[in-house]
Amino acid sequence: MDVLECIKTRRSIRKFKKEPVEWIKIAKILEAGLAAPSAGNLQDFRLMAVTDEGKRKKLAHFSMAQLWMINAPVFIIVNSTFEKTKRYYGVRGERLYSIQSAAAAAQNILLAAHAQGLGACWVGAFDENSIAELLNIPGYCRVQAIIPVGYPDEKVPCPPKYGVEQMCHINMFGDNAGKVWDIRKDILKEWSPYVEGAVDSVKKTFDNDSKLGEKISGSMKKLRDKFVNK
């Protein structure tokens, strides 16, 4: 699958098959995580793969007792190494840039897992100190994410998502100013399928008045031809 399809079809998976994950796939996931961007290319994160069943059970308990995690055969731990980033960029490097770098690595891991037919889920609720003690994580590292990985045993539908029209702005922020009202018209400069759908809905409303329906259809066809040939 291409990257856009991978992004749009990825889901958070919490049910896994009792099937081991090949190490070649884990290696590719780790490589994808390491390919993430980082502030100043400091690569201020470290990754861990945890396969030991006893440790995975403890990690699940340390993660607010999210016991569904245990069924995943591999956990990827994403740590930020903030000290070097702090030396270069000060407090902002410690409190923002190092977290951003770890988040970019985590997203790459999720996508790499999905691209290989695996399921994964980003877990951020956990007892950081207990995990650091269990895994011997040094003081200059902070645990930013735990990502259980395995073969999915569920199909998760796409959750409700806001569209471009609700979430995106151009040149300025505001409820009206700079708002993208229609991605096809405002950005792609194409005839909008949303408008087409609205027209069809109006036409159906006037099914009992064929002349009015024909008039609406003719007017919209002229508008579409004018827009497309603009």
Domain boundary among 150, 184, 202: 150
Q: Which stretches in the chain have pLDDT values below 70?
A: 176-217, 219-230
Give per-residue pLDDT as tens, 108-163. 999 999 999 999 999 999 999 999 999 999 999 999 999 999 999 999 999 998 88
Report the pLDDT value the prediction gives residue 128, as an integer from 0 to 100: 96
- Domains in the chain, number: 2
Report the pLDDT value the prediction gives residue 149, as an integer from 0 to 100: 98
Report the pLDDT value the prediction gives residue 166, as an integer from 0 to 100: 80
Tell me, yes or no, whether 159 lies in a domain: no
Does 140 lie in the same domain as 208? Answer: no
CATH code of the domain containing 66: 3.40.109.10
Does 123 lie in the same domain as 15? Answer: yes
Report the pLDDT value the prediction gives residue 58, as an integer from 0 to 100: 98
Report the pLDDT value the prediction gives residue 173, as an integer from 0 to 100: 81
Helix axes 193-205, 210-228, angle to 10 degrees: 170
Does 181 lie in the same domain as 220? Answer: yes
Q: What's the order of all strands across the beta sheet hosting 119-120?
A: 45-50, 74-81, 141-150, 119-120
Please say whether the dihedral angle defined by the alpha carbons of residues 52, 57, 58 and 60, taken in this order, is positive or negative. Answer: positive
Does 114 lie in the same domain as 32? Answer: yes
In terms of residue numbers, what domain contains 26? 3-150
Cβ(81)–Cβ(98) under 8 Å? yes
Tell me, yes or no, whether 156 lies in a domain: no
Please say whether the dihedral angle defined by the alpha carbons of residues 123, 127, 129 and 131, taken in this order, is positive or negative. Answer: negative
Report the pLDDT value the prediction gives residue 198, as an integer from 0 to 100: 59
Report the pLDDT value the prediction gives residue 75, as an integer from 0 to 100: 98
Tell me, yes or no, whether 105 lies in a domain: yes
Report the pLDDT value the prediction gives residue 195, as an integer from 0 to 100: 55
State the burial class of residue 65 (Cβ atoms within 10 Å of its Cβ: 0-12, 13-18, 19+): exposed
Report the pLDDT value the prediction gives residue 177, as an integer from 0 to 100: 64
Report the pLDDT value the prediction gives residue 169, as an integer from 0 to 100: 81
